[in-house]
Chains A and B, each alone.
Chain A
Amino acid sequence: MKIKLELFGVCREFSEQDYLDFNFESDIKIKDLRKEVEGFVNKNFPENKNFLEMVKKSAFSSQANEIVDDDFKLDKNQTISIIPPIGGG
C-alpha cells in the first residue's frame, strides 16, 4: 500500500518535493504513519529535534479533507496531509 504524505508548514523542510512517499505491507493506522515519519526525520535530520517535535505535535488530514485521529485506518493507496502546529492570520 502506498501512502503519499503531503507536506505543509515546517514539514515542507523534510523534502524538496511537496510530499513524501511511504510503502506499507499491510493496513495501518495514522499512529503507524506518524511513527514512519518520525523514523524518516530521525534518519535524515538526526540533529534537528524541532522537526521530530513538530511531527509528534502534528495532526493528519484524510483524502476527504477530514482531520483524523491516531486510530484512523488506512487500508488502500491514498494521499494524507500532515498538519503541523498552525499559526495563520
Chain B
Amino acid sequence: MFHCEVIDNSKEKITIEKAQKFIESQKCGASLYFLGTVRDHNNDKTVTGITYDAHDALVKKSFKEIYEDAINKLKLEHPAAFVEHAKGYVPLGGISVIIAVACKHRAQVYEFSRFIIEEIKKKTPIWKKEHYQGEETTWLEGKPIDIKKA
C-alpha cells in the first residue's frame, strides 16, 4: 500500500492525521512517523524559512521507485508507506516531508523509514532555497543526480 504526493504549501499542509488514516492496518504491529521540519539555523546563519522547488512528475516517480526498491531490498511484510513532500514556502518549524510507514514487525519500520529518507536525499528532484534574516536567500548546494542509477 503506497501513497505519495507533492503538496503545494500555499494551498494545503502536510498532516500526520492523513498519514495515520492511510497506513493503519490490523495486519501491522508497528508504525513509524518521520517528519522533516524547517530548523532555525544552517551554516551559521539564522534561517526564517525554506522555499522548496520540485519537479512534481519526477518526484512522484522517484518516490514510487524508492518504495518498490525498499520492498525488494528489505523483504518487508505487509508494508504500507505514505510519503508527502512540501513545495513552496515553508516557515520555521513547518513540515517539509512526512514518511509514515507500517509493517508487521518493529525492526522493519525503522529500516523502511530510514531507507526512504536516505534515498530521497540521493534521488528525488527537490531543491531548497533558504531564507535568512534580512531577506537574504540562497539555493542550497545539492548533489548531482547519478544518471546511471536514475
| Interface positions of A (Cβ within 8 A of B) | 6, 8-10, 12-13, 57-59, 61, 65, 67-69, 81, 83-89
Contacts and interface: CB of A to CB of B under 8 A. Distances in A.
Interface of B: 36, 52-55, 57-58, 61, 85, 96-97, 117, 120-121, 123-128, 139-145, 147, 150
Contacts of B140: 87
Contacts of A81: 55, 58
B57 A88 contact: no
Given A9-B127, A65-B58, A86 B52 contact: no
Nearest to B61: A65
A67 B53 CA distance: 18
> Which of B55, B117, B123, B126: most chain A CB closer than 10 A?
B55
Contacts of A6: 55
Contacts of B120: 88-89
A89 B121 contact: yes
A6 B54 CA distance: 12
A58 B41 CA distance: 27
A88 B61 CA distance: 15
23 contacts: A9-B53, A9-B127, A9-B139, A59-B144, A59-B145, A59-B147, A65-B58, A67-B58, A83-B145, A85-B144, A86-B125, A86-B142, A86-B144, A86-B145, A87-B121, A87-B126, A87-B142, A87-B143, A89-B117, A89-B120, A89-B121, A89-B124, A89-B126
